[in-house]
Each structure stands twice: as C-alpha cells, then as structure tokens.
Amino acid sequence: MANGTLNVTFSISSTDLFNCITLNKTVTDALVIDGTNRQGITTMVTASGSYLDINIEALAGSAAAGKKAYIYAKNTDLVDDLIFADDGDQIFAMLSPGEFMFYPTCDNTKVQVKSSANTPTVEFLLLEVS
C-alpha cells in the first residue's frame, strides 16, 4: 500500500481555567502513514462483559523496530463510558459520552474497548506506521 499523509491539528484554549493566564495553543503535524493496517473511520458496537479488539489484524513489528499506530476514538453514546485497554488488558483510557482521543501507540499488537454498561458505539480510526 502506498504511503499516505495524515494532517493533524490539535487546539486547546480557555479564558477562565487559570487565574492569571489565557490558554491558547495549537499544534499541527503531517504524519506519514506507511503501514498496511489502515482502518478508516468506522463504528463498532461494544459490550460491557469483555473487551473487543478494534484492530482487525495485529499491529506488525516490535517496539524496538518502531512498531507504531495512530488511533482516534470517540464515544458516540449519550450515557455510558467506554474503557480502553492494551493487549495486556491494562486500562489506559476511559471516555465519557461525547469525549474523544487521538494518540500514538506502540509495543501493542491490539487495542481493546468495552463499555461500562449496555452496548454503546465507538467511532474509531486506526493507522499503522511500519
């Protein structure tokens, strides 16, 4: 699969979070995506009993050799939380309804998600870097 570029912009701001300063920060980057495991924006119904893998194939390589993927995930539910864990079932994130995250991951062969209750939907994007 040919290389692709993912243009990313992250912006945070607040006028009342701190007493003496205004927070206003924007960071941009152009990320080269050259792995074969690419999942476009997709949704999946979760369950509260056990984790489900969001990647359809194992992430390749090793941490020492540069195994890496970029993950975007959003909790589209209005009530229940989503719980994310690595391939060792170690929880690394919890998204409340409407929250999202974008992060690089490495040294994992899979990323897992389950719900705090019921069957909410997770929206996600997974882009592997070889």
Is residue 38 within 8 A of residue 126, CB to CB? The reply is yes
* Predicted confidence (pLDDT) per residue in 72-113, tens digit: 999 999 999 999 998 888 999 999 999 999 998 887 788 999
Q: What is the mean pLDDT of residues 25-29?
A: 96
**Entry pTM:** 0.87
Domain boundaries, the chain: 39-129
* Predicted confidence (pLDDT) per residue in 50-76, tens digit: 999 988 777 765 556 667 889 999 999
Q: What is the 3-state secondary structure (H, E, C) of the chain?
A: CCCEEEEEEEEEEECCCCCCCCEEEEEEEEEEECCCCEEEEEEEECCCCCCEECCCCCCCCCCCCCCEEEEEEEECCCCCCEEEECCCCCEEEEECCCCEEEEEECCCCCCEEEECCCCCEEEEEEEEEC
The CATH fold assigned to 39-129 is: Jelly Rolls (2.60.120)
